[in-house]
Amino acid sequence: MSKKKTSKDDHEKKQIRLPKDKLPYISPAQKIVDMEKDSNDIILPPDIDTGPQKDTLRRKISRHINKFKHKLMKKLNMPEIYADIIFFIIDLLIAIGIIYFIMLLLIFTKKHF
pLDDT in tens, 67-91: 988 888 889 888 888 888 998 999 9
> pTM score > 0.85 for this model?
no
CA distance 4 to 85: 67
48 SS3 class: coil
* Domain with 95 in it: 79-113
Within a domain: 48: no
Total count of domains within the chain? 1
Within a domain: 98: yes
Within a domain: 88: yes
Within a domain: 20: no
Strands (DSSP E) found in 12-105: none
- Please enumerate, as own/partner, the contacts of 50-55 that have beta carbons within 8 Å and a separation of 24 or more: none
Average pLDDT rounded to a whole number, residues 40-48: 56
